[in-house]
Structure formats: C-alpha cells, structure tokens
Amino acid sequence: MSKSAPPSPRQDPDDLGHRMPIRDAATIVLIRDGEGDAPRVLMGQRGAGAAFMPNKFVFPGGAIDPDDSRVKLAAPLGDIDRRRLLHQPVTEAAPPPEAMICAAIRELWEEAGLMLATPGAWEGPLPEDWRAFAEAGRRPGPAALRYIFRAITPPGRTRRFDARFFLAMADSIEADLDDFSHACEELSHLHWIELAEARRLDLPFVTEVVLAEAAAVLKSGQVESVPFFDNSGPEATFRRID
C-alpha cells in the first residue's frame, strides 16, 4: 500500500477511540484548610507504566464497581445532587447516583488510605472492598461531598471514563491526614499542596480545569451548576448541568 493511501478502518486511531468503551468513574477533590487563605488539595502521581495518564498528578479516583451499587449510604442523597448526577447518562447501564458517591469514597480509601465516612453500624450487604469500613464502624454518606464537575474522556485515549468529580473537606475525616500508610500503591508522591501551586504540577488538562472550579466553589461557597465536558459524541460539547 502506498504512503498516500488512507488507513483501513481497523488502523484508524480516531475510529478506535470512538469505539473504546466508556466506563463510569468517580473522583474526590479533597481540600484541607478550606477555611483559610491557602487551602490545600490532596494529589498523587500515577506510575510511569500506567495505561492511563502515566506520570500525571491526579486526584484519588477510579471506575465505579458493581459492588458500589450494593452499599447503603448512611443518609439519603439530596434532591439537587441526585437530579444532577442522573443528567444525561452515557453508558448503557449507568450506575445510580448513590453508587457514584460510594465509589468516590472507596477510591479515596484505596488510593490514599483516608476514610471519609460517618460513624454507624453497617447495614445490608458487605462487599469485600468495604470490609474495612464495617470493621471501623463507619458508613459512607453524601453529606461531606459536593458534586462539582463532570468530564468524559475524549476519543483516542487508551481508557475512557465518564468521570464525576466531588469536592470534600478533609476536616470530615477523623484520622491523621498525613498518614497514607493504608493506601495501595496506585498513586505515589501523595501530598497536600496549595491549590495555586498544584496547577504547576504535570496535570491532565481536565484536572487543571477542575482545580479552577474547586477554587471558585470554595470562594463562593455554593455550586450553582455543574460544568460538563461531553466527549461522548462526534463533536466535543460543553454545557452546565443546572
């Protein structure tokens, strides 16, 4: 085949990117010293050999597991967040909003070793990934989380996610915030960094945008609408979820 001939459909990276399955995901933007003049955010670095965003600094987060839908929250999810989280599902079997909340809390525990939960006896099924919560007398709840951002990974990436970002204050955690000894090894260089300084790290583009949105929410004290970068279709679109 000559160099000028077009590639076959199997070789077209854009075509492959559009056919790459999108997975639902949840991420925690955990803020420390949020009431002060220099709030800090928890970030870690992905490994050099990671299939998705190698070497980049990111927030704790990951794909929503089926077991997250089996976990009962300590309190009902508010109507506004529920409506916003239900907005325009992309995957064929999008998880319920409660599972998105649970996944964000579970990922924070797995990747940073910090348990964002409220005291209470465990109720209902106990998936293995949640056993540490039950043993600690803790249950996940929505009160500490605010839904602030949503983004779908563009085509052409090795992994694609429909990610929901939740802002949370670290003072909701009753533990040593500098103790990451219970974390898995998925993220290295876990540390707290001032929001302004964090933007100087090697970040994915969407992480930079989320940091700016988190700073705006901290300043205003409210989430008037949720920015949504939608790359699920042939053209990227941006809208706000009211």
CATH number at residue 216: 3.90.79.10
Q: What is the mean pLDDT of residues 162-189?
A: 94
Pairing mode, if any, of strands 226-230 and 145-152?
parallel
- For residue 156, name the pLDDT band (cuts at 50, 70, 90): confident
> Token pair 């204050």 is at which residue?
169
Assigned domain for 172 exists: yes
- For residue 220, name the pLDDT band (cuts at 50, 70, 90): very high
Range of the domain at 114: 12-241
Assigned domain for 4 exists: no
Tell me the Ramachandran region of residue 118: left when phi exceeds 0, alpha when psi lies from -120 to 50, beta otherwise.
Answer: beta
State the total domains in the chain: 1
Assigned domain for 30 exists: yes
What pLDDT does residue 236 have? 93
Which pLDDT tens digit goes with each residue over 50-94? 655 668 899 999 999 999 999 999 999 999 999 999 999 999 889
- For residue 15, name the pLDDT band (cuts at 50, 70, 90): very low
Which 3 state secondary structure label does DSSP give 172?
helix
Assigned domain for 6 exists: no
Assigned domain for 210 exists: yes
- Residue 24 φ/ψ, nearest 5 degrees: -70, 140
User: What type of residue is 223?
Assistant: V
pLDDT of 108 strictly over 70:
yes
Separation of alpha carbons 9 and 11, rounded Å: 5
Which residue has better confidence, 185 or 18? 185
Assigned domain for 143 exists: yes
What pLDDT does residue 19 have? 63
Separation of alpha carbons 153 and 141, rounded Å: 27
Closest CA to 70 of 3, 28, 130, 142: 130
Assigned domain for 205 exists: yes
Assigned domain for 226 exists: yes
What pLDDT does residue 50 have? 62
Considering only 34-43, 51-60, 130-139, which range has the smallest mean pLDDT? Answer: 51-60
pTM of the predicted model as reported, rounded to 2 decimal places: 0.90
What pLDDT does residue 162 have? 98
**Alpha helices (runs of H) in 46-96, residue ranges in sequence order:** 79-85
